[in-house]
Amino acid sequence: MPLKSGNYNLTANSGKLCVYTYKEGFLSAVAHDLLIEATNFIVNLNVPTAGSNSASVQAEIQANSLKVICAMKDGQRQPDTLKDKDKADIDEATSKDVLHPAKYPTINFRSTGIQENEGVCRVKGDLTLHGVTRPLEFDVKTTIGSDLKGKVAILQKDFGVKPYKALLGTLKVKNEVDIAFELSLS
């Protein structure tokens, strides 16, 4: 279903914007895949009366707002696996060793083109992360014209981000992470 025309300012109150990280390395059996949520973001979506193909989107995520929600195992949430202290330690390591929000406070996306076809919008644009801007494409599905859902994989190293590692590299986060969102326009 096509998107309803209008200007939308979406925030964490409008839905979820999450990052999924995956473990690897010799000691990965003792580590966890993680679900991380952006708690402070704004997505500005403009859908003119001409329709989705004329739409534009801009997003800004505060880099220091990424917070661990829970561990994941085989794609399923494991809410009781990590204690609050574990989550806080991971958040601190992500800030200090990976994202460097004091130097790179925001993560930004700006669309350069949107093509809608049978309820799926192909979004092309530029993602700026860790001071590096690169092109990005992903699909957004719409349901009942008011909900948006999508997922895109990025490679951290493409943006100058060194994936987290510990214990001399025997435990590390994979280079590829998934960014997923579910937002409601209503």
Return per-residue pLDDT of the chain as tens, 186 residues.
Answer: 567 888 999 999 999 999 999 988 776 776 889 999 999 999 999 989 877 778 899 999 999 999 999 999 988 999 899 999 999 999 998 999 899 999 999 999 999 999 988 878 899 999 999 999 999 999 999 877 678 999 999 999 999 998 888 766 667 889 999 999 999 988
pLDDT reported for residue 35: 95
pLDDT reported for residue 1: 54
CB 22 within 8 A of CB 36: no
Direct distance between the N- and C-terminal alpha carbons of the chain, in angstroms, rounded to an integer = 15
What would you measure as the largest C-alpha separation in the chain, in angstroms? 55
Report pTM: 0.91
Closest CA to 156 of 72, 94, 71: 94
What sign results for the dihedral spanned by CA atoms 74, 77, 83, 89? positive
User: Where are the chain's structural domains?
Assistant: 6-184
pLDDT reported for residue 145: 60
CB 125 within 8 A of CB 135: yes
pLDDT reported for residue 186: 80
pLDDT reported for residue 147: 87
Using CA atoms of 8, 11, 16, 19 in order, give the dihedral in degrees to the nearest 10: 110
**Phi, then psi, of 64 in degrees rounded to 5:** -80, 5
What sign results for the dihedral spanned by CA atoms 18, 118, 186, 46? positive
pLDDT reported for residue 91: 93
CATH 2.40.128.110 fits 6-184, yes or no: yes
Closest CA to 14 of 64, 50, 59: 59
How far is 17 from 3, CA to CA, in rounded Å?
A: 19
